[in-house]
Amino acid sequence: MRFTNQSIRQLIEKYREISHLNKISALLSWDLNVNLPQKATESRSAQIASLTGIITDRWLDTGFRTLLDVAIQQQEHFSPEERAAVRNLEHAGKYYYRIPKDLIVEFSKATTESFMAWQEAKQHDDFDSFRPHLEKVVRMNCLIADHLTYKDNRYDALLDLYEPNLTAAKCSPIFDALTGPLRDLIKTVQNSAHFRETPRYVGEPYHYPAKQQKQLAYFILRTMGYDLKAGRMDVSAHPFTIDMHRADVRITTRYNVHDLRESLMAAIHESGHALYEQGVSPVYDDTPLAGGVSLGIHESQSRFWENQVGRSPQFISFIAPVLRAFFPNELGDTKIDDLVKMINHVVPSVTRVEADEVTYNLHIALRYELENGLINEKIAVDDLPALWREKMKQYLGVEPKTDREGVLQDVHWSYGSFGYFPTYTLGNLYAAQFTKKMREALPVDELISRGELGTILSWLRDNIHKHGSLYWPDKLVQHVTGESLNPAYLIEYLQKKYTELYEVDVKK
């Protein structure tokens, strides 16, 4: 235990119970997504609500709050780790201290209802039935943002919940810097002689048995260094990573028998998240410094492994023999170049979760602009479907035929999350910037070619993972790369990779 100050030790001792309850809550969610019998949704919701109430009460407990207030006042005498712990508690505590408990409870109910309405609405492609729920959830988010307070932009109060210190003033220039070059790159790729609308080895005639996909996923997990004695892999509708402790970090996947890429990329992506959690220093267990620091940094780890490693020609060449051996009928005769093209297939589409590296961030730019407008009451929920179609055409040159493929496609807004989407793009940017730095220290391509991923993992552990939530994102990026976030690295990486792959010149 590195916390020596008496009052902070007491505070952290009290926090330990909150941490246990948070992790129990995580288990309830994991189980809900992986195991829950169909008829048990209502009883599970009631159990989660009871636990949420207890966690809220623990934050509001006067003894705890007094200790936190004392620690805030005394923090100048603390060690850097102690100060970081206080900072994280103050940041997380904002949610409980600034927002009235009634609003938290009402919001939790409203978003549960909204989520269920969204499921129905998406299924029946019926935005109108979802609209009143979305309107309510947006209104409540505005109210929550006002309670949380902000300087320049109401949306900042929400962004900060997912990525400490993130503001629209930081996001907007990033998206401005990205959209032009990405749109140009897409056009370049589309004009290439090698451009195809649909990838090879994917779709109905091809059949990749789930059993082999599972074996392949485990091979990937082991190769990446995911500790299966401190985690497990299950199946869920949408892949995710969740931890009940550093020693219990679980991932999920899903199998599409017609498209091998889904489970392959899910395994690599989710393991990327899991490796981060498994790699945090054990001395931080159940303290405010435990776990990954923010959604953006978390996404940088999943995207690093998914894109910089998993989609690299070097990695694909390393696993090519395994793919051919597992799926002899489908891929037995493929050349490495065929596999690289399948896995790096670029095509503008209407669906975010199916998007490739080049088009992905334009999906996020669209959502960012709409969220910013909604929370600042410059866009009405009523106008969303049309605006969505318009911006899709503008950014990606495609138009969703239905709202199901358009404004209804993502779950996030339905459960009340505004400010989450930008962290996906931040993740991509951080990943590119970290990689650039890593390449100065390690022969990355060579290591990947030989499947020696342990050296890469060690670099991530030393530079990022072990710190847990010690450094906030701004400082961590500075600490690791010596400069602040710079979108140029992602643009440079994508331009180089995809002009080579599609054998074209960059349009500047």
Interface with a second copy (CB under 8 A), residue from 7, 21, 116, 492: 21
- Phi, psi (5° rounding) for residue 4? -100, -30
CB of 39 vs a second copy, minimal distance in Å: 4
CA angle 479-307-457, nearest 5°?
Answer: 50
- CA distances in angstroms from 224 to 29, 272, 302, 305, 458, listed in the order given: 26, 8, 12, 9, 11
- Residues in 253-312 that interact with a second copy by CB under 8 A: 285-286
Q: Which stretch binds a second copy (CB under 8 A): 17-25, 178-186, 365-373, 461-469?
A: 17-25
Residue 38 contacts a second copy per CB under 8 A: yes
The one-letter amino acid code at 27 reads L
Residue 156 contacts a second copy per CB under 8 A: no
Contacts of 314 (CB under 8 A, 6+ apart): 445, 446, 448, 449
For a second copy, the closer CB: 43 or 79 = 43
Interface with a second copy (CB under 8 A), residue from 248, 354, 474, 492: 248
Measured CA to CA, the distance from residue 86 to residue 83 in angstroms comes to 5
For a second copy, the closer CB: 262 or 286 = 286
Contacts of 371 (CB under 8 A, 6+ apart): 155, 418, 419, 421
CB of 263 vs a second copy, minimal distance in Å: 20
Residue 410, SS3 per DSSP: coil
Q: Which member of 81, 163, 262, 270 is catalytic? A: 270
Q: How many residues bind a second copy (CB under 8 A)?
A: 38
The one-letter amino acid code at 371 reads E
CB of 59 vs a second copy, minimal distance in Å: 15
CB of 200 vs a second copy, minimal distance in Å: 34
Token output for 98: 């600034």
For a second copy, the closer CB: 36 or 104 = 36
Measured CA to CA, the distance from residue 331 to residue 198 in angstroms comes to 17
For a second copy, the closer CB: 46 or 325 = 46
Distance between the two ends of the chain, CA-based, in angstroms?
53
Q: Which stretch binds a second copy (CB under 8 A): 41-49, 257-265, 373-381, 485-493?
A: 41-49
* Strands of 249-253's sheet in order across: 231-235, 249-253, 241-243
Measured CA to CA, the distance from residue 479 to residue 485 in angstroms comes to 11
Q: Which stretch binds a second copy (CB under 8 A): 168-176, 243-251, 261-269, 391-399?
A: 243-251
Measured CA to CA, the distance from residue 270 to residue 351 in angstroms comes to 20
Residue 13 contacts a second copy per CB under 8 A: no
For a second copy, the closer CB: 46 or 488 = 46
Residue 321, CA atoms < 13 Å, CB-side half-sphere: 4
Measured CA to CA, the distance from residue 38 to residue 36 in angstroms comes to 6
Residue 235 contacts a second copy per CB under 8 A: no
Interface with a second copy (CB under 8 A), residue from 244, 257, 336, 398: 244
Interface with a second copy (CB under 8 A), residue from 61, 227, 338, 492: 227
CA angle 121-107-407, nearest 5°?
Answer: 30
Residue 17 contacts a second copy per CB under 8 A: yes
For a second copy, the closer CB: 209 or 451 = 209
Residue 222 contacts a second copy per CB under 8 A: no
CB of 99 vs a second copy, minimal distance in Å: 22
Residue 14 contacts a second copy per CB under 8 A: no
DSSP-derived letter for residue 249 is E
DSSP-derived letter for residue 379 is S
Q: Which stretch binds a second copy (CB under 8 A): 12-20, 302-310, 320-328, 486-494?
A: 12-20
The answer to whether the beta carbons of residues 418 and 107 sit under 8 Å apart is no
Residue 232 forms beta bridges with which residues?
250
Residue 23 contacts a second copy per CB under 8 A: yes
Does residue 270 carry a catalytic annotation? yes
Residue 410 contacts a second copy per CB under 8 A: no
Instruction: Name the residue among 317, 217, 215 with its Cα closest to residue 274.
Output: 217
Measured CA to CA, the distance from residue 222 to residue 447 in angstroms comes to 16
Entry field: residues in the chain: 508
Q: Which stretch binds a second copy (CB under 8 A): 141-149, 229-237, 342-350, 412-420?
A: 229-237
Residue 55 contacts a second copy per CB under 8 A: no
- Phi, psi (5° rounding) for residue 419? 110, -5
Residue 20 contacts a second copy per CB under 8 A: yes
Residue 230 contacts a second copy per CB under 8 A: yes
Q: Which stretch binds a second copy (CB under 8 A): 71-79, 111-119, 191-199, 222-230?
A: 222-230
Interface with a second copy (CB under 8 A), residue from 7, 14, 27, 283: 27
Measured CA to CA, the distance from residue 24 to residue 5 in angstroms comes to 29
Residue 478, SS3 per DSSP: helix
DSSP-derived letter for residue 287 is S
Cite the active site residues: 270
Give contact residues for a second copy (rule: CB under 8 A).
Answer: 16-17, 20-21, 23-24, 27-28, 31, 35-40, 42-44, 46-47, 50-51, 53-54, 227-232, 244-248, 250, 285-286
